[in-house]
Amino acid sequence: MLVRDKISIALVALLLVALVGGAAWWFFSNFERATKESRSQVSPQARKNPLLAADHFLSRSGIRSLSVRGREYLLKMPQESGLLLVSHLGPSLPPQREAALLSWIEEGGHLVITVAQEWDEESESSGNHLLDELGVELVIIDADEFEEETADEAVGENPAENSEKVTAVKFPGVAMPLNIAFTPNRILLDVNEQAEWGGWDEQGYHLLQYVIGRGRVTVLSDNRFLNNNQIGKEDHALLLWLLARDHERAWLLYSSNMPSLLRLLWSSAPQLMAAALVLLWVVVWHLGLTSGPRLTAGVFLRRNLLEHLQAAAAFAWRVDQGQKMFESSRCAIEQEWQRRHPILARLDRKERCEWIGEQTGLSARAVESALYGDYSGEQEFIRISSVLQKLAMRR
């Protein structure tokens, strides 16, 4: 029984092996392994950070990498040495900050910067004191001039192959040259001739490296080849790895814009900012507190214009301003008569009153009393005012 059982088990095992082998043979005979690439939409992080792909590449290469925005690591140097790649160098640092940066480089740090501004002949400056000390000048060749210089080289070649000019960079310690697509019309000049080595083509240098103490400074004519769309082409990723291979840390600064004051305060003193927000909330809450019963809003009716004029006239009369208003009215009426009838300027007062009386049908005495006479009592004031009103209407 035992022998028969063993034989049955062996036959079942052989049958299973045959079935599995046959299924595997059929599968690999009818299917083949293939790789399919599908392009997805760009993530918001990649839109904001052009060095995001370079950051991921260094992290997967065993280098602890961090890509940040701003100039934080230029103003406050990291505690340990590493690769500090600055996409946009920006203006000169304050003298103390620049001295701290140079000290960090001398202790073994590696600074990779890109020249953004062309050399200014008038001010004899590159716009950054560190570049001036290194003796690096950026020359941007005019597009028309560059096309004339490269026209002979492009004859007989495919125009599509010349859309991006690839520079063969001989990196120290690497046998084969690296193909890097630098912007061809941006050229670096090593004025002081202190660079340890450089990558160049027939136009000039595109990369210069300087030794400072135990560290290095690498200057690039442009860093477009490190962007998300270019890092995977040619030998761009390899060049980045060669620059960072001697370090365990890497910081990639992809913008020179300083963060806002609130962001700096929150990153530097979050407890203080939280306490300030709580205090602000308490102040706003306290201002909303009330004491005692609420006052009802009163309804105030606006006075019309006639009431306002009547009130103003009554006030003027109470403070003895009636005489001034009366005299100003007299003077205005007389001046208007003389303006309209220049003949009155050549007559004396009596003749003038007689002439006005003839024109208006009033007596000369009434006209003289209204324009030049005094009044006593309310009735006489009313009579004179009536004559002045007639003179004002008939002038």
Q: How far is CA 95 from CA 100, 128, 218, 229, 347, in A?
A: 9, 12, 21, 36, 90
Q: Tokens 């046959």 identify what position?
A: 22
3-state secondary structure 272-316: HHHHHHHHHHHHHHHHCCCCCCCCCCCCCCCCCHHHHHHHHHHHH
What is the reported pLDDT for 159?
A: 36
Number of H helices, E strands in the chain: 15, 11
pLDDT top residue among 109 and 148: 109
Distance CA 187, CA 190 (A): 10
Q: What is the pLDDT of residue 395?
A: 63
| Model pLDDT for residues 256-299, shown as the tens digit of each residue | 555 566 766 776 678 888 888 889 898 888 887 777 777 776 66
Q: Is 161 a residue whose pLDDT tops 50? A: no
Query: Which one, of 87, 104, 375, lies nearest residue 252 by Cα?
Result: 87
| The amino acid at 160 | A
How do residues 111-160 score in pLDDT, each as one tens digit? 888 887 777 777 777 777 888 888 888 888 875 555 554 444 433 344 33
**Mean pLDDT value across residues 69-97:** 81
Checking if the pLDDT of 239 tops 70, the result is: yes
Q: What is the pTM of this model?
A: 0.52
Please spell the DSSP secondary structure of 211-258, one letter per residue.
Answer: EETTEEEEEES--GGGSTTTTTSTTHHHHHHHHHTT-SEEEEE---PP
* 314: confidence class by pLDDT, cuts 50, 70, 90: confident
Q: What is the mean pLDDT of residues 196-204?
A: 79
Are 225 and 179 within 8 A, CB to CB? no
Task: Burial-class residue 344 by CB neighbours within 10 Å (0-12, 13-18, 19+).
Answer: middle
**Contact indicator for 372, 314 with CB cutoff of 8 Å:** no
Q: What mean pLDDT comes out for the span 229-258? A: 82
Whether the predicted pLDDT of 213 surpasses 70: yes
Quote the pLDDT of residue 87.
Answer: 82
pLDDT score of 83 more than 80: yes
Q: For the purposes of burial, counting CB atoms within 10 Å of the CB of 284, is it exposed (0-12), middle (13-18) or buried (19 or more)?
A: exposed
